[in-house]
């Protein structure tokens, strides 16, 4: 150190700078893993597209945004492997096309052994959804097989001692409701009650949640002249009073949630939590899809995120914070149906936000390959050796 030079004011030797750079690269994953514990928001990671970034890049993106919960529609091994030891919770799914096969206990056991067991505890798989919106279709065999399939998967979980750690449930479309207004008068459709009644008994026994996909956008799209935009976008409004309970609802999503609670209570169950497995707003749609704009999508999602972070509950259950999985992470260019179906993403496939809701994320420009990791390791060794020589 030169005479009069104060500690820490000199120029660092090149080897020191190299060492610090390499050290920052090495600890990046640990920092991201820690930050993943931050937000209580969940997000749906759909992959019906041919232009999405690799799972390893998506892992970095989500962790940079402090997303703590991810829902898949399958049990993609590449995705789960990319999130090992990150602390991110996962909901994995069994597609409708495989539900009937799961009725066979041996098949359910094999599925759990292949798609769940190998990743625990490094991947935090906390829930398995057996099917998605099964009662929305007309496949009576699928409807009849849903509960037996769920029971078989649950028994496979029990056999591995994972009950209480991994829930087994299924996700429903809101059109299973026969009535949802006022919320206190919520009931299930008569044709689904014979299926829902025993399913609720199973969820109660297994202590699993009731998952519902809720889209206030659909109500607005169907009748934009009658549905107040402020009511569906969580914007200030007088609200709608439930004459039976006296509760006031200032947004449609909460009214939909409480109508499901009422429908379950009508069938004798008050012991099952309702979680929102999907909700979102499209940023673009066909000419006849009213309200599908980036502006409205941004308002809906940002206001929803604000309420999630406030740990707000519904009027019926104010002390139970809403549990929500936003749909979806990316725009998915291969989804069938109207244009809106391909435009629910928070991000474009290149990692750019579709609209600004305050989520700041980083999508790496390329994968860190094994060769790149070897280079980093080699640089680390060189830097350490250089430091040792300087200090000796």
User: pLDDT at residue 34 above 80?
Assistant: no
Quick one: pLDDT band at residue 361, thresholds 50, 70, 90? Answer: confident
In a domain, 24, yes or no: no
Bridge partner list, 94: 130
User: pLDDT at residue 348 above 90?
Assistant: yes
In a domain, 189, yes or no: yes
CATH code of the domain covering residue 45? 3.20.20.80
Quickly count: other Cβ atoms within 10 Å of residue 336's Cβ.
7
User: pLDDT at residue 138 above 70?
Assistant: yes
**CA distances, 108 to each of 105, 201, 233 (Å):** 5, 20, 41
Over residues 92-108, the mean pLDDT reads 98
Which residue, chain included where needed, has tokens 């209580």? 40
Q: How many domains does the chain have?
A: 1
In a domain, 8, yes or no: no
User: Residue 379: its pLDDT value, please?
Assistant: 57
pTM (two decimals): 0.85
3-state SS of the chain? CCCCCCCCCCCCCHHHHHHHHHHHHHHHHHHHHHHCCCEEEEEECCCCCCCCCCHHHHHHHHHHCCEEEEECCCCCHHHHHHCCCCCCEEEEEECHHHHHHHHCHHHHHHHHHHHCHHHCCCCEEEEEEEEECHHHCCCHHHHHHHHHHHHHHHHHHHHCCCCCCCEEEEEEEHHHEEECCCHHHCEECCCCHHHHHHHHHHHHHHCCCEEEECCHHHHHHHCCCCCCHHHHCCCCCCCEECCCCCCEECCHHHHHHHHHHHHHHHCCCCCCCEEEEEECCCCCCCCCCCCCCHHHHHHHHHHHHHHHHCCCCCCCCCCCCCCEEECCCECCCCCCCCHHHHCCCCECCCCCECCCCCCCCCCCCCCCCHHHHHHHHHHHHHHHHHHHHHHC
Nearest to 167 by CA among 273, 289, 52: 273
User: Residue 136: its pLDDT value, please?
Assistant: 95
Distance, first Cα to last Cα, the chain: 15
Question: Where in the sequence is the domain holding 68, given as residue range(s)?
Answer: 37-388
The values of phi and psi at residue 43, to 5°, are -140, 140
Structure tokens belonging to residue 372:
């790149």
In a domain, 67, yes or no: yes
Question: In this prediction, what percent of the chain has a pLDDT beyond 70?
Answer: 83
Cβ neighbours of residue 265 under 8 Å, at least 6 residues apart?
Answer: none
Question: In this prediction, what percent of the chain has a pLDDT beyond 90?
Answer: 81
Q: Burial code of 343-365, b = ≥16 C-beta within 10 A, e = fewer?
A: bbbbbebebebbbebebebebbe
What is the rounded distance in angstroms from the CA atom of residue 366 to the CA atom of residue 364?
6
pLDDT tens, position by position, 48-81: 999 999 999 999 999 999 999 999 999 999 999 9
Over residues 214-221, the mean pLDDT reads 98
Catalytic residue set: 133, 278
In a domain, 172, yes or no: yes
Over residues 215-236, the mean pLDDT reads 97
In a domain, 268, yes or no: yes
In a domain, 107, yes or no: yes
The average confidence (pLDDT) of the chain is 88
In a domain, 2, yes or no: no
Assess contact for 178 and 252: CB atoms under 8 A.
no
Over residues 327-346, the mean pLDDT reads 98
């Amino acid at each position: 150190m030169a005479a009069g030079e104060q500690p820490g004011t000199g120029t660092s030797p090149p080897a020191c700078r190299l060492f610090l750079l390499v050290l920052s690269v090495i600890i990046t994953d640990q920092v991201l893993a820690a930050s993943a514990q931050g937000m209580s928001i969940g997000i749906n990671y759909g992959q019906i597209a041919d232009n999405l970034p690799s799972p390893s890049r998506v892992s970095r993106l989500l962790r940079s945004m402090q997303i703590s919960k991810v829902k898949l529609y399958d049990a993609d091994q590449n995705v789960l492997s990319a999130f090992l030891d990150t602390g991110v919770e996962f909901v994995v799914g069994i597609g409708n096309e495989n539900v009937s096969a799961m009725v066979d206990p041996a098949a359910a056991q094999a599925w759990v052994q292949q798609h769940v067991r190998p990743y625990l505890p490094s991947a935090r798989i906390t829930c398995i959804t057996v099917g998605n919106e099964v009662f929305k279709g007309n496949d009576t065999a699928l409807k009849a097989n849903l509960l037996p399939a769920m029971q078989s998967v649950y028994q496979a979980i029990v056999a591995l001692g994972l009950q209480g750690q991994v829930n087994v449930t299924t996700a429903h479309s809101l059109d299973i409701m026969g009535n949802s207004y006022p919320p206190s008068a919520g009931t299930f459709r008569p044709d689904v009650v014979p299926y829902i009644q025993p399913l609720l008994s199973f969820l109660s026994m297994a202590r699993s949640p009731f998952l519902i996909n809720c889209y206030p956008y659909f109500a607005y799209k169907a009748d934009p002249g009658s549905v107040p935009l402020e009511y569906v976008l969580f914007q200030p409004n007088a609200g709608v009073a439930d004459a039976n309970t006296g509760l006031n609802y200032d947004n449609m999503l909460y009214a939909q949630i409480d109508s499901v609670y009422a429908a379950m209570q009508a069938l004798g169950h008050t012991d099952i939590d309702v979680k929102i497995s999907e909700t979102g707003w499209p940023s673009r749609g066909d000419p006849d899809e009213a309200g599908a704009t980036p502006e409205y999508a941004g308002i809906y999602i940002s206001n929803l995120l604000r309420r999630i972070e406030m740990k707000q509950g519904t009027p019926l259950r104010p002390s139970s914070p809403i549990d929500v999985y936003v749909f979806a992470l990316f725009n998915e260019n291969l989804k069938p149906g109207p244009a809106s179906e391909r435009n629910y993403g928070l991000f474009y496939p290149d990692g750019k936000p579709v609209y600004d809701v305050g989520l700041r994320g980083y999508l790496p420009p390329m994968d860190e390959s094994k060769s790149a990791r070897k280079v980093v390791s080699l640089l680390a060794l060189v830097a350490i050796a250089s430091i040792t020589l300087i200090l000796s």
